[in-house]
A and B are shown apart, each in its own frame.
Chain A
Amino acid sequence: MAYSDKVLDHYNNPRNVGSLDKDSDAVGTGVVGAPECGDVMKLQIQVEGDTIVDAKFKTFGCGSAIASSSLATEWIKGKKLDEALEIKNTEIVEELALPPVKIHCSVLAEDAIKAAVADFKSKKNKDE
């Protein structure tokens, strides 16, 4: 299977790999997918006010899944929470030129962003 140059670039030089302190109130963590499906994404955001100041990911999955999550962290950094939630999987598909069989990877990345934001918000609501 031929991969687009952008997928290869993200696979070979993944951006923002790593982990943030998941117990911190300023960090939201989203884990989506399942090992038996061959894809698990963990995406974390560090928030100040309502701005995402840092984002990290780790992904178990094919090259397209790794590239989708790497791209997602790149896009959400510096964005406000509401702006991050507006990112659509179709934009990831377009940017990475994903073939139809890999669209689920972009869906997973969108889900991971939403899950991380939801986790952050639920922590904040508990505090208030």
Chain B
Amino acid sequence: MTRPIYLDYQATTPVDPRVLDTMLPYFRECFGNAASRSHAYGWEAEKAVDEARGKIASLIGASPKEIVFTSGSTESINLALKGAAEMYGSRGRHIITSQAEHKAVLDTCKHLEKQGFEVTYLAPDDKGRHSAEQVAEALRDDTILVAIMWANNEIGTLNPVREIGALCHERGVLYFCDATQAVGKVPVDVQADGIDLLCLSAHKIYGPKGVGCLYVRRRNPRVRLVAQMDGGGHERGMRSGTLNVPGIVGLGAACELCEQELEADATHSRELRERFEKRIFSELDHVYVNGDPEHRLPGCSNLSFAYVEGESLIMGIPDLAVSSGSACTSASLEPSHVLQSMGVGDELAHSSIRFGFGRPTTTEEVDRAAEQIISAVKKLRELSPLYEMVQEGIDLSTVNWTSH
């Protein structure tokens, strides 16, 4: 069996072979504990970690001392939000975030609500985007933190981070930005962008799973966090636990490659996406882009194929590895909270598929994928009573459905 064409780069990415090569020695001979100060094994591990720290900092415009290693973005988000809330809770109890954030942010905010914090969940516009003005209107005297992501993981919409960052700095409120999907895909500069806390994850940028980091600003302002993991006081006391040296080396190498290849990667995936969407739109009617056509991650295409249900469509394209915003693929029966927050109707949310194009994707793969999607959608529309009704000129919104 040949493996399916992988078009799910927002979910995860393969480790770049060049990244893997840099990691291997740290599993083998250089296996030391970076905290061991008394021998060469420890020293070489510490040196490797410091080099990685420098590469990561360089990619996002930070200083190496501002990088705190974690197990990935979920942990970084928990540390940033809970750690800041605990540290600054006496100053204020209000937090602003977005309904379209990742579950890691939303569920952490719900946790904080139980601790007595008040959270405002802003609704994005119909393209999934927030404006700095909208954040400004929600700011209060007791707001301590704004958490608005850089790029949405489902639809790829890019928020006006620099404007939000400037606003937060002007008002003396901390700005946490989940940049998991953005780092390595679009230029990130924590100084110019006015970000105080930022998370990223290695496995989204051709690095290994299980490692990521949190950027914690050290100057103007100096951000302090209450550690959420107690122990040996690693990472300047912010995250105890023996460092994952091979993982960190891999993250550093992945960031270095991203910095060198960012433009080429972005152009490559943007061209593939344009080629893919052009094919789809030339052959199919009633297809809608979910997200912001102007402010969108280069390698992300979230499409709703009206009158075709997402899970049945995925069944029809077994040679493609993609994700669906449809309810039925997951355990819950609710469609995507991101699409709902943008006001995409449930019927179109049930018809949505996310396609991701990455560094290894080829034009050949894109053409084959488009061809298979087109034929599956055509076949399922022949089966669709909704498509038939629309062809007959019936307005589906006027039909009296028997919901169940």
Contacts and interface: CB of A to CB of B under 8 A. Distances in A.
Given A17-B383, A37-B346, A104 B388 contact: no
B403 A63 contact: no
B345 A60 contact: no
Interface string B123-137: 000000000000000
Interface string A95-107: 0000001001001
A3 B328 CA distance: 13
A58 interface: yes
Contacts of A61: 309, 312
Nearest to A17: B383
Interface size range of chain B in the complex: 20 to 34
A110 to B, nearest CB: 11
A36 B345 contact: yes
B1 interface: no
Interface stretch (A38-46, A47-55, A73-81, A84-92): A38-46
Nearest to A62: B311
Contact of B328 (A42, A59, A62): A62
A101 B332 CA distance: 9
A66 interface: yes
A17 B380 CA distance: 11
Q: Which has the most chain B C-beta neighbours within 10 Å: A3, A65, A107? A: A65
Contacts of A122: none
B309 A58 contact: no
A32 B333 CA distance: 18
B385 A60 contact: yes
A36 B312 contact: no
Interface string B337-374: 00000000111001000000000000000000000000
Interface residues of A, number: 32
Contacts of A28: none
B402 A39 contact: no
A11 B331 contact: no
A38 B350 contact: yes
Which of the listed residues A17, A40, A104, A108 has the most CB atoms from chain B within 10 Å of its own CB?
A40
Interface in B376-404: 382-388, 396, 401-404
Residue among A19, A36, A60 with most chain B CB within 10 A:
A60
Contacts of A14: 383
B327 interface: yes
B208 interface: no
Contact of B404 (A42, A59, A60, A104): A104
B312 A11 contact: yes
Contacts of A60: 307-309, 383-387
Most chain-A CB neighbours within 10 Å: which of B326, B384, B385, B401?
B385
A66 B19 CA distance: 45
Given A61-B309, A104-B404, A11 B315 contact: yes
A19 B346 CA distance: 26
B402 A58 contact: no
A33 B402 CA distance: 5
B346 A62 contact: no
A40 B401 CA distance: 9
Interface in A12-46: 14, 17, 19, 31-42
B315 A39 contact: no
B328 A38 contact: yes
B396 A35 contact: yes
A49 B346 CA distance: 41
Contacts of B252: none
B385 A32 contact: no
Given A31-B385, A40-B401, A63 B315 contact: yes
Contacts of B388: 19, 42, 58
A28 B252 CA distance: 66
Contacts of B387: 60
Contacts of B308: 60
B333 to A, nearest CB: 8
B335 interface: yes
B260 interface: no
B358 to A, nearest CB: 25
Given A31-B385, A58-B385, 19 more contacts: A19-B388, A33-B401, A34-B401, A35-B346, A35-B401, A36-B350, A36-B401, A37-B403, A37-B404, A38-B309, A38-B346, A38-B347, A40-B385, A42-B385, A60-B387, A63-B312, A66-B383, A101-B331, A101-B333
Interface of B: 307-309, 311-312, 315-316, 326-329, 331, 333, 335, 345-347, 350, 382-388, 396, 401-404
8 contacts: A33-B404, A38-B335, A59-B383, A60-B307, A65-B312, A101-B328, A101-B333, A111-B404
